[in-house]
Amino acid sequence: MEKRFDPFLAHIYCEMKPYLSKSRLISAWQCAKKLHLEKHHPELGVISSQTESLFATGNEVGDIAQRLYGTVQSVEVAFDFKTMLADTKRLIDGGADFPIFEATFRHEGVLIRADVLIPDADGWRVIEVKASTSVKDYHVLDCAIQDWVLRNSGINVKSISLAHINNQFVYQGDGNYDGLLLENDLTDEVREMERDVLELVAKARDAVTGPMPLINVGTQCSKPYECQFMSYCWPMDAEYPVTGLGGGKAKLAAWVNAGCRDIRDVSSEDIDAELQQRIHRVTVSGEAEVIPGAREILEALPYPRYYLDFETIGPAVPIWAGTRPYAVIPIQWSCHIEEPDGELRHEEFLDISGEPPMRALAGKMIDCLGDSGPVLMYTSYEKGVINGLIEMFPDLEDPLQGIVDRLVDLHPIVKAHYYHPKMLGSWSIKAVLPAMAPSMSYAELEGINEGTGASDGYLEAINPETDRVRKLELKEQLLRYCRFDTEAMAEIVRFLAKA
C-alpha cells in the first residue's frame, strides 16, 4: 500500500532538509513560536487523541476525494521525499492529461502536495480537500500558498478550489459518495494574497532559523488548532494550574502572562465571574465545598433507578444508509439498574458486526428501561442522542419520548452542589469521580478510557480488515469503558446522598 502524506513525518523530514511544508507555514501563521518548537523541540509537544483522530479523518476524506475525482488513468504520487518531486515533474512534463493526486512541487524551499490536479485545457484545475463543513480563513491561506508555489513552478493554474464536506449529504448506502464534497472556487481570493504568502514565508523562515520567538500565551494557543505545546507554554505543572479557572482564553492568558501559575496566585479581586470566584475560593481553602440540597433532590427519586450512558460515533464519511456526515450515531449503551436495597444490576448493548446497530440498540434500550423509574444521565448529551433516534425511527417515538420524559440530568445537580479543588474547574464525570471516589479511576482502564478512543475503537472493531483477536479485545475495552461510566454515575449519586 502506498504511504499517505503524514504531516508529522513531513515535519521530521523538514528537520533534515531545508524545506518549509505547507503545514509548517500554517503553524507559523498560528504562532511563530509553535513552528520554532516543531522544528527544534518537537519532543515537547503532546499530540492528543482528538488531534490524531482528526488526521485519520482527513486521510479518510482524502481517499473518498480520490474516488470521486479519479479516472481509470489517474495517478497518485507516492509519498517519498527522494522521488516525489521528480515523479511529479515526469508526469507534468510527459503531458499527463488525467487527474494527479498528491502532485508535489517546491518553490523557494516551500514544499506542497496538491490533493487533486485535474487537466483543464492548457492548464490545471486545483482542488484542496478538507474534512471541515465550511471554508475557514486558514483554508484560503492554504490555497494561496499552493497557488503561489504551483504558479512559480510553471503550472498554469486555471482555478483553485476548496472542497469540504457537505453536511446535508445523505448517504444511500450504495458506495456512491457523489455529493459528499462541496467545491468553493477561491481563485480570485487567493490571487490577492500573494503578499500575505510572501510575508508568511519570511516569518516562517525567521522562526525556523532564529532564536525562539518571545510570544506570550494567548487565544492563538487553541485557534485554529489546539497547539501541541500547551503543556510547555502554559503552567500545566502547577498543583492547580490557572487554566482550571475556566472562562475565556484571553483572560486566562492575561493572568499567566502576569506571572500567575497556580489558581492561588490570582488575586480574588481580579476575578469577576461568579463561577471563577467559586473555583478560586474553594481552591484557596483546599477543602471540598458541599452546598446542601443535592441529597433531598436525589432522595426524592423513586426506584428502580436507571443509570444510562451512550457511546457514539460521528464519521465524516457516512457508513450506513440514511445517515449524514458527522451525524451523532449511537453504537453502544450501558445501563446500571439500582433497586431500593442499593443493589446494582447491569445491562448493555454493543454490536460490532458492522451492520447498522441503531434500530436494535433503540429496541433493546426500550426493553431495558421499561416504562417507569428515573433515567439518570450526565449532561444533556443522552437526551440529544435519544431525540436523534426518534428522528431515525418515528415508529418508536412513543416509547423513546417516554424515556426522554424520565431523564434526570446529574450534571447540573453536581455542579450546583459540589466542587473540589482537584476538579480543576471541570464538572465532567472524569473530573468529578476522582474527587468523590478516589478508588475509581478512568486512567486505570486499559486501552479505551475516553470518548474519542471509544469512537475510534468501535470504527476499528467493525473494520473488516481488523483481525478477530483485536476485534474481541476492542469489544471488551468498549464494554468496560461504557460500563465504568454508568458505575461512576451510581457512585456519584451514592456520594451525594451521604454528603
* Least spacing, CB of residue 246 vs ligand SF4, in Å: 18
Minimum CB distance to ligand SF4 smaller for 230 or for 440: 230
Per DSSP, the chain holds a count of helices (H) and strands (E) of 19, 14
The three-point CA angle 447-451-455 to 5° equals 80
* Least spacing, CB of residue 34 vs ligand SF4, in Å: 4
Q: From CA 317, how far away is CA 57, in angstroms rounded?
A: 8
Please, which residues bridge with residue 159 across strands?
A: 125
Minimum CB distance to ligand SF4 smaller for 20 or for 77: 20
- The reply on whether position 229 binds ligand SF4 by CB under 6 A is yes
* Least spacing, CB of residue 230 vs ligand SF4, in Å: 5
- The reply on whether position 424 binds ligand SF4 by CB under 6 A is no
- The reply on whether position 217 binds ligand SF4 by CB under 6 A is yes
Q: Are 192 and 161 in contact (CB under 8 A)?
A: no
Residue from the set 140, 141, 181, 221 that interacts with ligand SF4 by CB under 6 A: 221
* Least spacing, CB of residue 255 vs ligand SF4, in Å: 15
Q: From CA 143, how far away is CA 59, in angstroms rounded?
A: 18
* Least spacing, CB of residue 270 vs ligand SF4, in Å: 22
Piece of 219-227, 262-270, 351-359, 421-429 that binds ligand SF4 (CB under 6 A): 219-227
- The reply on whether position 37 binds ligand SF4 by CB under 6 A is yes
- In 3D, which of 281, 245, 285 has the Cα closest to residue 261? 245
Q: Are 332 and 310 in contact (CB under 8 A)?
A: yes
Please, which residues bridge with residue 335 across strands?
A: 308, 347
- The reply on whether position 362 binds ligand SF4 by CB under 6 A is no
Piece of 30-38, 292-300, 361-369, 406-414 that binds ligand SF4 (CB under 6 A): 30-38
Instruction: Tell me the CA distances in angstroms from 157 to 193, 358, 439, one per residue in order.
Output: 15, 46, 62
Residue from the set 24, 34, 106, 113 that interacts with ligand SF4 by CB under 6 A: 34
Q: From CA 333, how far away is CA 308, in angstroms rounded?
A: 7
Report cis status (omega within 30 of 0) of the bond before 224: yes
* Least spacing, CB of residue 216 vs ligand SF4, in Å: 7
* Least spacing, CB of residue 470 vs ligand SF4, in Å: 35
Q: Are 337 and 306 in contact (CB under 8 A)?
A: yes
Q: From CA 212, how far away is CA 233, in angstroms rounded?
A: 12
Give 53's contacts (C-beta < 8 A, 6+ positions apart). Answer: 452, 455, 456
Piece of 28-36, 370-378, 453-461, 478-486 that binds ligand SF4 (CB under 6 A): 28-36
- The reply on whether position 33 binds ligand SF4 by CB under 6 A is yes
* Least spacing, CB of residue 207 vs ligand SF4, in Å: 10
Give 339's Cβ-side CA count (13 Å radius): 5
Minimum CB distance to ligand SF4 smaller for 170 or for 230: 230
- The reply on whether position 230 binds ligand SF4 by CB under 6 A is yes
* Least spacing, CB of residue 44 vs ligand SF4, in Å: 9
- In 3D, which of 270, 223, 215 has the Cα closest to residue 242? 270
- The reply on whether position 255 binds ligand SF4 by CB under 6 A is no
- In 3D, which of 163, 152, 165, 154 has the Cα closest to residue 186? 163
Minimum CB distance to ligand SF4 smaller for 31 or for 252: 31
- The reply on whether position 227 binds ligand SF4 by CB under 6 A is yes
Site size toward ligand SF4, by CB under 6 A: 12
Minimum CB distance to ligand SF4 smaller for 220 or for 312: 220
- The reply on whether position 220 binds ligand SF4 by CB under 6 A is yes
Burial class (CB in 10 A: 0-12, 13-18, 19+), 242: buried
- The reply on whether position 150 binds ligand SF4 by CB under 6 A is no
- The reply on whether position 26 binds ligand SF4 by CB under 6 A is no
Helical axes 381-392 vs 358-369, angle rounded to 10°: 120
Residue 427, number of CB atoms within 10 A of its CB: 19
Minimum CB distance to ligand SF4 smaller for 37 or for 271: 37
* Least spacing, CB of residue 227 vs ligand SF4, in Å: 3
Q: From CA 418, how far away is CA 423, in angstroms rounded?
A: 10
- The reply on whether position 233 binds ligand SF4 by CB under 6 A is yes
- The reply on whether position 204 binds ligand SF4 by CB under 6 A is no
* Least spacing, CB of residue 59 vs ligand SF4, in Å: 24
- In 3D, which of 314, 320, 327 has the Cα closest to residue 388? 327
Handedness of CA 128, 129, 133, 136 (dihedral sign): negative
Piece of 26-34, 170-178, 279-287, 331-339 that binds ligand SF4 (CB under 6 A): 26-34
Residues that bind ligand SF4 (CB under 6 A): 31, 33-34, 37, 215, 217, 220-221, 227, 229-230, 233
